[in-house]
Amino acid sequence: MEHMEKFQDILEAADRLSLEDKEALIDVLQRRLVDQRREEIAREIEAARREFQSGQCRPMTPDQVMKEIKDVLF
């Protein structure tokens, strides 16, 4: 619940900003989100490389991947 109160406080503070400051805040937050997503993707790629190098996965064609997905779902 404390998280929601802090979030509400942030929203109220943002409401008090000028239009230009709101736009700047949005720009900063969007760039931070892009950076975080990029870092997350990089971590996932590194984990996939480690799995591949340790033999936990094998290369597959797109058709093989789709077949395996269909086998699991149906």
Q: Look up residue 42 and give its amino acid.
A: A
Is pLDDT of 10 > 90? yes
Cα–Cα distance for residue pair 10/66, rounded to 1 Å: 44
User: What's residue 59's pLDDT?
Assistant: 83
CB–CB of 25/17 below 8 Å?
yes
Domain residue limits, the chain: 2-73
- Band (pLDDT 50/70/90 cuts) for residue 1 is confident
Asked if residue 72 has pLDDT above 80, the reply is yes
- Is this model's pTM higher than 0.85 or not? no
How far is 5 from 28, CA to CA, in rounded Å?
Answer: 22
pLDDT digits (tens, 9 = 90+) for 13-61: 999 999 999 999 999 999 999 999 999 999 999 999 999 899 998 888 9
